[in-house]
Amino acid sequence: MNEPFGFQMQAPADWTLADLADHILFTMDFDGDHLSQFSVAATPSGRRTPLGPDDESDGMDLPLNSLFPLPKHKKLFYLYDFGASWWFQISKQGKPTTAMPGVTYPRMLAEQGRKPLEYGEDE
């Protein structure tokens, strides 16, 4: 069995969920042509609270620094492609720091496992 793919990166605290979604899809080499949604829940299959201040917003304009810290026992999830159900768990590590001069963000810190193909081997 293959180790699940995961990655760790540094991103600006004022990034929006839209910025984060774009970078996740870029990192995964996914096309970005499916619906997606961020939510807060204890588990991906648990009762989810979709992010968005009202029915007319999908929450993608929310900055990351407005979401953390999350409520106790809750995690931030990103669901891409409601049919294939690609789930990503997002966590914050450490305290926000100021950007270092000359460093391009987001900055990839680590990758582990084999990156999955969006459409599988045969598609």
pTM, 2 dp: 0.86
4-29 pLDDT, tens digit per residue, is 899 999 998 889 999 999 999 999 99
Q: What are phi and psi of 68, to 5 degrees?
A: -105, 145
Fold of 6-91: 3.10.290
Contacts of 55 (CB under 8 A, 6+ apart): none
Q: What pLDDT score does 57 carry? A: 63
In the chain, where the domains are located: 6-91
What average pLDDT does the structure give for the chain?
87
Task: Indicate if the pLDDT at residue 43 is higher than 60.
Answer: yes
Task: Using the structure block, give the residue that is written with the tokens 């204890």.
Answer: 42
